[in-house]
Amino acid sequence: MTRIRFHQELDELKHRILAMAGMAEQAFDLAVQAYSQRDPVLCQRVISNEAGINRAEREVDEFAIDLLAMQQPMAIDLRFILAVIKINADLERVGDQAVNIVQRVMNMIELPASELPVDIPAMATSVRAMIRDALRSFIEGDPELAKHVLGADDEIDRLNHDAFAALSSYMQSEPNGAVQALDALSIARNLERVADHATNIAEDVIFWIRGADVRHGAGHHSVGS
Amino acid sequence: MTRIRFHQELDELKHRILAMAGMAEQAFDLAVQAYSQRDPVLCQRVISNEAGINRAEREVDEFAIDLLAMQQPMAIDLRFILAVIKINADLERVGDQAVNIVQRVMNMIELPASELPVDIPAMATSVRAMIRDALRSFIEGDPELAKHVLGADDEIDRLNHDAFAALSSYMQSEPNGAVQALDALSIARNLERVADHATNIAEDVIFWIRGADVRHGAGHHSVGS
C-alpha cells in the first residue's frame, strides 16, 4: 500500500467511526425521548436499531485491524488506529446503555405514574453535551476540548450521587413508588456510564494527539467506568 | 528486533498481563471477603491497592503498543497483542468494580444489619469461576473453555434479575431496610459487570486464536456489558 493510499484508508476509517458515532448518538437521543414521553414505540426503535450498531462496530473493528496488519503505521498513525478501536468499543456500549434505558422505561410505562425526586432529562442533557464534545474533540483533534470533557464527568458523578440519595429516601417514605424509583435509579446509573464512555473517548483523543496516557493520575479518572 | 527476540517480548507481554490479572483477581476476592465479613480494613486495602492496578494497566498498555510500533506482527501475533490490550482494560475495570463494591460495603457497615433476600456470596462464587475460566482460556489458548465462559454469563444475568425482583419487593415491605437493600442491589450489579468483563476476555481469546469476532451474533453477547 502506498503512503497516499494508506492516508486515504485512514480517512475512510475516520469516516466509518463517525458514522458509528452517529448511530450511538441517535440511540441515546431516542432513549431519552422515550423516557420523557413514556413512549413504547420509541423504546422498540432503540431495541431494533441495536443490531445495526453491533454490525457497524464489528465492521469498524475489522477495518482498523486490517489497516494495522497491512501497514506498519508509525507513532501518530498507530495511536490513531488504536484510539479508533477503543472509541468504537465505547460507542457500542453507549448503544447498549440506550437499550438498558428503554428496558427500564418499558417497565415504568406499566406502572402508575409517580412524582419522582429526580430530573433525568437534565442529567441526560449534561451527558449528551459530554458525548458531543468528546466526539468533536476527536473530529477536530483537539486535546483541550477533550480535557474539558474529563472535567465534566465530576458533575455527572455528583448528579448521580444526589439522585441516589433523593431516590433512596423517597423509597422509604413512599414504598408504593419503590419500583418506579428503582427504575429511575437504574436510568441515572446508565447515564453515568454513558458519561464514563464519553470520558474514555476524550482520553483516547488525548492519547492519539499527544501520545500521553492520561488515565489515572496524569489526567483524571473516576472509578465506576 | 529479531524474530526470536520478538517472541521473547511476546512472552514477556503475556507474563505482565498475567501479573495484572493476579492483581485484579485479588481485588475481587478481597472485596467479596469484605462484604461477607463487613470488614472495613479489607475495604481500605482494596481502595489502596487500586493505584497499583492502574499503574500496571498503563505499563502493560505501553509495552503492548511499543511492540506493535517496533514490529509489524502478522496475523496471530497482531491479534494476540490486540487481545492483550483489550483484556488489560477489562482487568482494570474489574479492579474498579472491586472498589465500587467496597464503597457500598463501607456504607452497609454504618447501618443496622438487615436480613436481605439475596445471596451475594453465591453470586460472587459464580462470577469468580467465570474470571478464572476466562483467564485459564487465555493462558492455555483454549477457545472451547472461552466459549464455556460465554454460556455462563446467562446464569449471572438471571441471578441479577432475581436479586432485583427480590430486593425491590423487600424495599416495599421493609422501607427501613431500603438503603441496605439498595447497597446490596448495587453490589449485585457490580458483580454482573465483572461477569461482563470475564465475557469480554473470553471473546478476546476466541478472536486471538480463531481470528473470528464472536461478538453479537456469531457467538453470544448480552446487553449491559
Which of the four pLDDT bands, split at 50, 70 and 90, describes residue B219? very low
Q: Which three cell numbers stand for residue B66?
A: 511499543
Neighboring chain B residues of A171 at a CB cutoff of 8 Å: 171, 175, 178, 182
Provide the pLDDT for residue B82: 92
CA–chain centroid gap for B174, Å, is 33
Burial B42-65 (b: 16+ CB within 10 A, else e): bbebbbebbeebbebbbebbebbb
What are the backbone angles phi and psi of residue A153, rounded to the nearest 5°? Answer: -65, -30
Q: Look up the ipTM and state it.
A: 0.76
Mean pLDDT per 10-residue section of chain A, whose length is 225 residues: 85 96 98 97 97 95 88 82 94 96 95 88 96 97 96 89 88 85 92 94 92 55 37
Nearest CB among B62, B100, B221 relative to A213 is that of B62
Please give the mean pLDDT across all residues of chain B: 90
Provide the pLDDT for residue B216: 56
Provide the pLDDT for residue A218: 45
For chain B, the structural domain boundaries read 3-210
Alpha-carbon Rg for chain B in angstroms: 19
Provide the pLDDT for residue B6: 87
Provide the pLDDT for residue A74: 77
Yes or no: say if A155 and A222 are a contact pair by the CB < 8 Å rule.
no
Helices (H), B38-142: 40-70, 75-109, 120-139
Neighboring chain B residues of A221 at a CB cutoff of 8 Å: 54
Yes or no: say if B68 and B136 are a contact pair by the CB < 8 Å rule.
no
Neighboring chain A residues of B193 at a CB cutoff of 8 Å: none
Provide the pLDDT for residue A223: 39
Alpha-carbon span B57 to B71, nearest angstrom: 21
Residue B221 has pLDDT above 70, yes or no: no
Mutate to test the interface with B, among A43, A55, A68, A97 (most CBs of B within 10 A): A68
Compare all CA atoms of chain B with the CA of A211 and give the residue at the minimum distance.
B62
Yes or no: say if B61 and B213 are a contact pair by the CB < 8 Å rule.
no
Provide the pLDDT for residue A179: 86
Query: What is the distance in angstroms between the Cα of B188 and the nearest Cα belonging to chain A?
Result: 13
Provide the pLDDT for residue B215: 60
Query: What is the distance in angstroms between the Cα of A61 and the nearest Cα belonging to chain B?
Result: 9
Position A92: which residue type? Answer: E
How many interface pairs between A and B have CB atoms less than 8 angstroms apart? 97
Name the DSSP letter for residue B112: P
Q: How far is CA A24 from CA A62, A96, A152, in A?
A: 19, 9, 20
Nearest CB among A78, A178, A216 relative to B54 is that of A216
Task: Check B223 against A69: CB less than 8 A apart.
Answer: no
Alpha-carbon span B118 to B187, nearest angstrom: 11
Report the length, in residues, of chain B.
Answer: 225
3-state secondary structure chain A: CCHHHHHHHHHHHHHHHHHHHHHHHHHHHHHHHHHHHCCHHHHHHHHHHHHHHHHHHHHHHHHHHHHHHHCCCCHHHHHHHHHHHHHHHHHHHHHHHHHHHHHHHHHHHCCCCCCCCCCHHHHHHHHHHHHHHHHHHHHHCCHHHHHHHHHHHHHHHHHHHHHHHHHHHHHHHCHHHHHHHHHHHHHHHHHHHHHHHHHHHHHHHHHHHHCCCCCCCCCCCCCCC
Residues of B at the A interface (Cβ-Cβ below 8 Å)? Answer: 50-51, 54-55, 57-58, 61-62, 65, 68-69, 72, 74-75, 78-79, 82, 85-86, 89, 93, 96, 99-100, 164, 168, 171-173, 175-176, 178-179, 182, 185, 189, 213, 215-217, 221, 223-225
- Give the 3-state secondary structure percentages of chain B, helix then strand then coil, rounded to 5: 85, 0, 15
Q: Which residues lie below 8 Å from residue A76, measured CB to CB, with a gap of 6+?
A: A208, A209, A211
Neighboring chain B residues of A50 at a CB cutoff of 8 Å: 223
Alpha-carbon span A166 to B100, nearest angstrom: 20
Q: Which CATH architecture has domain B3-210?
A: Up-down Bundle (1.20)
Higher pLDDT, B210 or A45: A45
pLDDT 10s digits, B49-94: 999 999 999 999 999 988 888 777 777 888 999 999 999 999 999 9
Provide the pLDDT for residue A225: 34
Task: Check B172 against A179: CB less than 8 A apart.
Answer: yes
Nearest CB among B50, B89, B224 relative to A96 is that of B224
Task: Check A100 against B223: CB less than 8 A apart.
Answer: yes
Compare all CA atoms of chain B with the CA of A172 and give the residue at the minimum distance.
B175
Provide the pLDDT for residue A203: 93
Alpha-carbon span B174 to A81, nearest angstrom: 53
Query: What is the distance in angstroms between the Cα of A55 and the nearest Cα belonging to chain B?
Result: 8
Provide the pLDDT for residue A187: 95
* Angle, in degrees to the nearest 10, between helices A143-173 and A178-210: 170
Provide the pLDDT for residue A222: 38
Q: How many CB atoms lie within 10 A of CB B7?
A: 12
Alpha-carbon span A69 to B79, nearest angstrom: 9
Provide the pLDDT for residue B72: 72
